Structure 1
Amino acid sequence: MKSKEIGKYALLAFGAMALIYVWFAIAGVTDLGNWTHGLRNILTGVIFVFLAQLVTGRSLNHPSWWPGIVIFYFWLAALSYIEVKSGGTWGVRLEALNNDVLSLISALVFIFLLEYIGSRDSHMRAILGLFNFLLIGYLSFSIFVYISYYWIFGAGFTSNDMISVLLTNKQEALEFLQSHMGLGVLALVLAIFIIYMLLVGFLIYVGSRKEENLKPLPHTLACKIITGVLLIASLVTMNHCIPRIFPAWPYRVAHKYLADAKAAMVHHDDNLKKLYFTGSTPETLPGSVIVVIGESANRNHLKAFNSDYPAETTPWFSSEKNNPDFYLLRNTYSCYPLTEKALSMYLTNLNQYNELNRDEMITITDIANKAGYNTCFISNQAPAPGNMALELVSGASKKRFTTPHPGGDDMKVMDYLKILPKVGSNFIVIHLEGSHDRYRDRIPPDFEGIHIDGHSIKENDYDSSIMYTDNVLKNIYQYAKDNMNLQAMVYCADHGEDMKSFHGDGYFTWDMIRTPGFVYLSPEYKMGHLSVANHLKANEGQVFTNDLIFDMVCGIMGAENTAYSQTYDITSAQYDLTWENAVSKFGHVRVKDDPFHVKDYSQALTNKE
């Protein structure tokens, strides 16, 4: 093979991948220079396409490439545009398209190689052509649906939307399409899709035709081996990535969510029948109670909790921590360094000390509903399959909202807070994306973050996300205080974060469970609940694990019930968690062994006495 042909193949492979990269830039996809989820994938595409041309002797201009090229550019161009538009002012980073890019690169090469094999083997031609037609048909139908959904709603299709689809019957689906598209438009879309697929079928036919005077390639055995490797690599990549893109991934998440929710509700309904207040039915507070779930916040990085930290990462809370209406829970720990497991206890009567199991679960929203509050759940996180506690909390809420682009700007939760009633008794749970990795994805492009000399880019990004969360909390607090008669506000992260090991089930560090926590009680609330305020102040420096938030919030609402215990309520005189018995990781870690707080441990014992 002449060097001129090799150079041509390399140039065409590079141009094909560069073209989609240029489109990403035009569409507004950001972070294009990222190696792991950007440049590396494109380089992989260049290598795969180059080798496929080299071993077959067919350049990208050959008809065998055309069917794959059509779906490759159609999918990535349409999806990237919609994702950017759905992302609001943030747009979308290339990382979010990682699985789509890898899926379509592998599909492009795989489809071509099947076309090539079919053109050389008449016995395989029909079956390989049919496989390509079905693969392209599946991908094409998926992107047609995605485009149609964006056309109707102006946003991309999320797991939450799939939940709604799975809960919709055929009649409701038809009525929906008639209402939003009309039968005429729907027929037009279907006609366009049919014509498109006929074109795909024609391209597959042309691409797999036997060529006259077809000459065998040199080094045939080597070419066959490389072709086999490319086929296997493409198939493995598709098998891994296609289930992680639309529509398979939203379906998987939504199906798991609904299955777990259904199973949870069987026991939950029985638990609610047994639940009752141990005293008289509590009076609802004349305003709002807000619980904010943070994400991946290590309190050592919060200036308000660690005065030695070299940057002011919490300008708002640092200014408020000496406010007598705020209570700094400076010795708070997560019950588990993993979101799903931490939240299984965070807002429920389950904790590490009472030996209850998940079949006995009662949520704080259940208590608020029973007490007569208007309950609401606002989330900037996508549904988490298997997180039964959150499913019950959100499902029991009378109103629930998820931001249009979960995982994006946490400030979007304000849009939903502002549409809630300004009068009456509200109980609101807000779930933030906080400082979940990648940290830079939590920060708006125009936000002036933290830059500490000597710290890595990752650590500065993390600190910037902490600072942005501080700003979000400020906005939640200020709006609710000014407009919703805020009575109480509780904030605590689900778990901490280690700058090297992050967080998770495996390797453990103390940074993974050191979490920030604070409580705000309004002057009006304290006047009517002086003992709660006094006990909280007395216990402010004691050790606290976030699996006891249920009991604390019950205490704040004055809602003592059969699922509540004063010994786990930090607002009670009977609060009995000490450094000797406090644990994490479901009892496998003793909090008193944390070396960072040895001096605080001694001081806490003195204060307790």
Structure 2
Amino acid sequence: MRRCDKLVHWISLQKHLFFVFAFLFVVPNFVLFFTESLPITVGVASILLPLAFWMGLLLLTRKPGIVVWCFLPKVILDGGQLVLLYVFGQSVIAVDMFLNLTSSDASEASELLGNLILIISCVFFLYTLPTLWLAFRSIRSKKVLSASFRKKWAKISLLMFITGVVFCFLSPLQDYRFSLKDDIYPANALYNLYFAINKAEKNANYSKTSANFKFDATKPVQAEGRREIYILVVGETSRAMEWSLYGYDRETTPYMEKLAGLAHFTDVVTQSNNTHKSVPIILSAASAEDYGVIYSGKSIVTAFKEAGFHTLVIANQKLTTSMIGAFYREADTFIDMSQFKAGSYLTSLHDGAILPYLQKELDKSKGNVFVVLHTYGSHFNYHERYPKEFSIYNPDQVEGIRASHKKILRNAYDNSIRYTDYVLNGIVEILGKTNACASMMYLSDHGEDIFDDSRNRYLHASLIPTYYQLHIPLLIWFSPEYREVYQEKYQTVMAHQSIPVSTNTVFHTMLDIAGVRTSVADSTLAVSNHAYIIRDRMYLGDHDDPIPFWKVGLKKADFIMMDKWNIAYDKD
């Protein structure tokens, strides 16, 4: 009881609360000091500069709790930063994380938040709430900071700030270029928020900035006497290492393994671990090297439409608020399945529900057709991605995201891959019945971490990706009719299955397979073309800058896995 009384008396003094608030304001900085790969000079500056800054602000009033409440958004931001550090193990709140708040639907958000409720509660009750409660006590207290105390610590905070600046200037000695917007929290998080707002505005203005764009696309050669159907299936959160087609020890892709006319590319990496960036790269001529063209050009849907194809998009994800949705609305027919009732507003339909709509639309059109199918794939919660009859590996249902649940999570994830295999086979069967000259391409937008190594990383969309988020499956199936009519294209694809590929090849490959010609298409990026050129593969950084994918901050464990799966990268 005496200890409790002493503690209450201790925190009743404003000078003690001043130090408590100063420390609480830099808790994220201390954590980032140990998680980020910064030179020691920059690491020290990343603590000294914000600590001095907040100390100076807290001294502006005689009751420092007033400053804390004035900076309530900062307290909330700190809580979010701590949650993300728990989830990803490193990195400041990224641009993509802010954008994900606007591009995720209620179902997706509820699944994630529901499984993070424990850590969110811990941060709230152990950090956010105590900070605000102590600030309230500071304001209510009759005691104030003395003038001498404020003057003394103002001088000390100024000295600390100057010392921090000196450390910043020393960073070149360690071959590092210091940047306030990259290296100091919360300046970096606030810059990322600004960047995200600016990017969201560009997304919103897409219809205006691309209004006058034309592919001038044509299809010079037609399969005589046959209609042509080309389908692009955009998967979600599927990693190649979990496909038995690629050598996984569980039988997760029995249909694909027996499918004639199928090519599977073994060395494919995504250019982004975020859906809202990866999928637009898949659907357009944009790439990590030239992402800005996404705002002035149009998507592959329009290219096929200009070439005389009836265009169809069926999406099982709510993507109408992102660039992806803008691309999909370019189609002649857009079926947004996220609007259909699935039993609950917070759940989605299984991907197999796409098949009847695909069949119906193909039956309605007798000419050439181009289709984009956007699936929910293996997005968390994994056990909700497939019907009960696909619950092959058990147990597969668990509440909460914890490393101790890894085996169960992997069971559910593998079941979702098995269901994807079933859905893809269903698409092939529908195409087979048309007797058309047809092809289906499938790939995932990115992979996923599932507590795979000692880092205990989970999910995707982290600022620093891992091997598990980068290595994805890419398949191309050709109907017997296509193999007969366009034999050379088919043989070229089959010969290229082991070459290094990234997601920016999809746009060019789909057009090349279909024989659609446009000046925007690049034959050196089409795996179906003899002109394909192997080049360094780039990753789209958080500020939309291109980075060689092996230089994004991967760790030793990632390189071990890349070597195991024969992923090509510069080892010099």
TM-score (norm 2): 0.56
> Comparing both chains, which one has the higher relative contact order based on Cα–Cα distances under 8 Å and sequence gaps of 6 or more?
2
Structure 2 Cα separation of the partners of residues 267 and 569 of structure 1: 27
Determine the structure 2 residue equivalent to 1:582: 537
Contact 2:390–2:418, Cα closer than 8 Å, also in 1: no
Q: 2:331 aligns with which of 377, 394, 397?
A: 397
Q: C-alpha distance in 2, partners of 1:354/1:603?
A: 22
- Write the deviation string for residues 6-46 of structure 1: whole angstroms up to 9, x where unpaired: xxxxxxxxxxxxxxxxxxxxxxxxxxxxxxxxxxxxxxxxx
Offset of 1:267 from its aligned partner?
Answer: 1.9
Alpha-carbon shift at residue 504 of structure 1 (Å): 0.7
> SS at the partner of 1:407?
coil
Q: Which of 253, 265, 271 is equivalent to 1:335?
A: 271
* Aligned partner letter, 2:272: Y
Once the two structures are superposed, what CA deviation does each residue of 1:255-295 show, in whole Å capped at 9, x if it has no partner? x99987761111222222xx224x77454771311110000
1:557 corresponds to which of 514, 536, 540 = 514
Q: Work out which of the residue numbers 595, 605, 608 in structure 1 matches 2:560.
A: 595
What is the aligned partner in structure 1 of residue 235 from structure 2?
294
Q: Identify the match of residue 463 of structure 1 among 411, 414, 423.
A: 414
Aligned to 2:258, which of 319, 326, 342?
319
Give deviations 1:189-243, integer Å, cap 9, x for gaps.
xxxxxxxxxxxxxxxxxxxxxxxxxxxxxxxxxxxx9xx99xxxxxxxxxxxxxx
1:303/1:289 Cα in 2 relative to 1: closer, same or farther (>3 Å)? same
Match of 2:216 in 1: 276
- CA deviation profile, 1:106-158 (whole Å, cap 9, x unmatched): xxxxxxxxxxxxxxxxxxxxxxxxxxxxxxxxxxxxxxxxxxxxxxxxxxxxx
Residue 310 of structure 1 pairs with residue 249 of structure 2: yes
Deviation at 1:486, TM superposition (A): 5.6
Q: Is the 8 A contact 1:377 1:393 kept in 2?
A: no
The CA deviation at 1:384 is 5.0
TM-score under structure 1 normalisation?
Answer: 0.52
Distance verdict in 2 for CA 1:557–1:97, change over 3 Å: closer
Q: Which of the residues 439, 443, 447 maps onto 2:390?
A: 447
In 2, Cα distance between equivalents of 1:522 and 1:440:
32
Partner residue of 1:195?
none
Secondary structure in 2 matching 1:419: helix
**SS where residue 588 of structure 1 aligns?**
strand
Provide the secondary structure at the position in 1 that maps to 2:278. Answer: helix
Asked if the contact 2:278–2:445 (Cα under 8 Å) also holds between the matched residues in 1, the reply is yes
CA-CA distance at 1:527 after TM superposition: 2.3
Task: Measure the CA separation in 2 of the matches of 1:97 and 1:336.
Answer: 20
Secondary structure in 2 matching 1:460:
helix
1:171-320 paired onto structure 2 within 5 Å: 263-272=205-214, 275-277=215-217, 281-283=220-222, 286-305=227-246, 307=247, 309-320=248-259
2:452 is aligned with 1:513: no
Q: How far apart in 2 are the matches of 1:459 and 1:565? A: 39
1:60-75 → structure 2 map (5 Å cutoff):
none
Read off the aligned partner of 1:427 and give its amino acid letter: F
| One-letter amino acid of the counterpart of residue 549, structure 2 | R
Equivalent of residue 474 in structure 1, options 425, 432, 438: 425
1:449 is paired with a residue of what secondary structure?
Answer: coil
Question: Could you list the runs of 5+ residues in structure 2 that have no partner in the other structure?
Answer: 1-106, 118-132, 138-197, 397-404, 452-457, 552-557
Match runs of 1:350-429 below 5 Å: 350-354=286-290, 356-385=292-321, 387-388=322-323, 390-403=324-337, 404=340, 405=342, 407-422=348-363, 423-429=366-372
The equivalent of 1:12 in structure 2 is none
- The 5 Å alignment of 1:21-170 reads none
Name the SS for the 2:441 alignment partner: strand
Q: CA deviation at 1:354?
A: 4.6
In 1, the alpha carbon distance for the partners of 2:500 and 2:356 equals 35
* Larger Rg computed on CA atoms: 1
The verdict on how the C-alpha distance between 1:582 and 1:257 changes in structure 2, with shifts beyond 3 A counting, is closer
Contact 1:495–1:512 (Cα < 8 Å) also in 2: yes
Kept in 1, the 8 Å contact 2:436–2:481? The answer is no
**Residue equivalent to 1:112:** none
Write the deviation string for residues 489-536 of structure 1: whole angstroms up to 9, x where unpaired. Answer: 000000011103211132421100111110011222122222212221
Following the alignment from structure 1 to structure 2, what is the Cα–Cα distance between the partners of residues 352 and 93?
Answer: 26
| SS class of match (2:380) | coil
- Distance change (3 Å), C-alpha of 1:377 and 1:484: farther
* Partners of 1:304 and 1:470 in 2: CA distance: 10
The one-letter code matched in structure 2 to 1:508 is P
**2:375 counterpart residue number:** 432
SS in structure 2 of the partner of residue 382 of structure 1: coil
Aligned-residue offset at 1:457: 1.1
Match for residue 493 of structure 2 among 536, 541, 553: 536
Tell me the secondary structure at the aligned position of residue 244 of structure 2.
coil
If each structure's helix is expressed as a fraction of its own residues, which one has the higher value? 1
CA–CA distance in structure 2, aligned partners of residues 94 and 492 of structure 1:
24
Structure 2 counterpart of 1:485: 436
The Cα of 1:589 is off from its aligned counterpart by 4.0
Percent identical among aligned pairs is: 20
The CA deviation string for residues 145-181 of structure 1, in whole angstroms up to 9 with x for no partner, is: xxxxxxxxxxxxxxxxxxxxxxxxxxxxxxxxxxxxx
Contact map agreement 1:283 1:371 (CA 8 A) in 2: no
Secondary structure at the counterpart of residue 389 of structure 2: coil
User: In structure 2, what is the equivalent of residue 567 of structure 1?
Assistant: 524
Q: Indicate how the Cα distance of structure 1 residues 260 and 410 shifts in structure 2: closer, same or farther if over 3 A, else same.
A: farther
SS at 2:439's partner residue?
A: strand
8 A Cα contact 1:313 1:463, kept in partner: yes
Q: Does the Cα contact within 8 Å between 2:219 and 2:517 map onto a contact in 1?
A: no
Question: CA separation in 1, counterparts of 2:277 and 2:112?
Answer: 28
Q: Is the partner of 1:418 in helix, strand or coil?
A: helix
What CA distance in whole angstroms lies between the structure 1 residues aligned with 2:313 and 2:496?
A: 29
SS at match of 2:418: helix
Letter of the structure 2 residue corresponding to residue 342 of structure 1: S
Deviation at 1:455, TM superposition (A): 5.6
Counterpart CA distance in 2 for 1:477 and 1:367 is 24
**Distance change >3 Å, CA 469–CA 528, structure 1 → 2:** same
- The answer (yes or no) to whether the contact 2:286–2:294 under 8 Å persists in 1 is yes
State the distance in 2 between where 1:270 and 1:588 align.
Answer: 31
> Helix, strand or coil for the counterpart of 1:469?
helix
The answer to whether the 8 Å contact 1:315/1:470 transfers is yes
SS at match of 1:574: coil
Structure-2 change in CA distance of 1:326 and 1:93 (3 Å) = closer
Query: How far 1:370 sits from its partner (Å)?
Result: 0.6
* C-alpha distance 310-281 of structure 1, shift in aligned 2 (>3 A): closer
**2:219–2:307 CA contact under 8 A, matched in 1:** no
Is the alpha carbon distance of 1:560 and 1:601 closer, same or farther for their aligned partners in structure 2, counting shifts above 3 Å? farther
